[in-house]
Amino acid sequence: MDMQGADDEIRQIAPLRVRRRTATQAEIAEAAASLFERYGFENVTVEQIATAAGISMRTFYRHCSGKDEALSVGLSAGPEELAAAIGKHQDLPLLEAVVAGLVEVSDSPVRRSELRLILGTPALRVSWLAAGRAAQEDLVGIVRQHFPAITVFEAQARAAAIISILTVVLEAWTAAEDDDLPLRAQQALRVLTDW
């Protein structure tokens, strides 16, 4: 095989590795969420999570340093996922794109359950706050695409305001059983235009 053929093969293998890693992280998060919900965060061991996920302890520790990271692995990918979902709606005004992206990545019973666990567990709440900060940074570019004339500082301020509002929205939505996520997000984001 020539060097070009080897390079092409490596490019094809890399996405498979990424997909496997992502799938394993999702399995860990699902197993952890189920166990935490059933038995409580403090009563679940890493070994129980690994067993429920169908992986070895070694594989678990390749993806997470401990049980407190089992759900936060998904949180660390969340900001990129949210930014990508918002970015797909470039044809909409920014706040409508934000609502559409938020609903796309968050409006599910599984996500609501995961967020309940994270917000209800002090050891996991730090990851929630870190994900919010990362989401602000990821949103700056999207804000600048919608408003090319503003400065980076102004885009950072708008991104921070949007993510802070979405944090409040998600926390309220997680706490209430009958809350409508799109409606709640639209109402809350309206404060940015009602001043």
pLDDT of residue 107: 87
What is the pLDDT, as a whole number, of residue 12?
A: 54
Instruction: Say if residue 140's pLDDT is above 90.
Output: yes
Q: What is the pLDDT of residues 80-109, one digit of tens each?
A: 889 999 999 999 999 999 999 999 988 888
Q: What is the mean pLDDT of the chain?
A: 86
Higher per-residue pLDDT: 181 or 127:
181
- Quote the pLDDT of residue 8: 53
Residue 160 pLDDT level (bands cut at 50, 70, 90)? very high
Asked whether the predicted pLDDT for residue 15 surpasses 80, the reply is no
Tell me the fold of 1-67.
Arc Repressor Mutant, subunit A (1.10.10)
| Banded pLDDT at 14 (limits 50, 70, 90) | low
pLDDT computed for residue 155 by the predictor: 96
pLDDT exceeds cutoff 90 at 59? yes
Task: Report pLDDT for 195.
Answer: 64
Answer whether residue 179 shows pLDDT above 80: no
- The domain segmentation of the chain, as residue ranges, is 1-67, 71-195
71-195 classified as CATH 3.30.565.10: no
Task: Give the pLDDT score at 68.
Answer: 82
pLDDT of residue 9: 55
Convert the chain into a string of H (helix), E (strand) and C (coil).
CCHHHHHHHHHHHHHHHHHHHHHHHHHHHHHHHHHHHHHCHHHCCHHHHHHHHCCCHHHHHHHCCCHHHCCHHHHHHHHHHHHHHHHCCCCCCHHHHHHHHHHHHHCCHHHHHHHHHHHHCHHHHHHHHHHHHHHHHHHHHHHHHHCCCCCHHHHHHHHHHHHHHHHHHHHHHHHCCCCCHHHHHHHHHHHHCCC
Could you tell me which residue, 58 or 15, shows the higher pLDDT? Answer: 58
Does residue 6 carry a pLDDT above 60? no
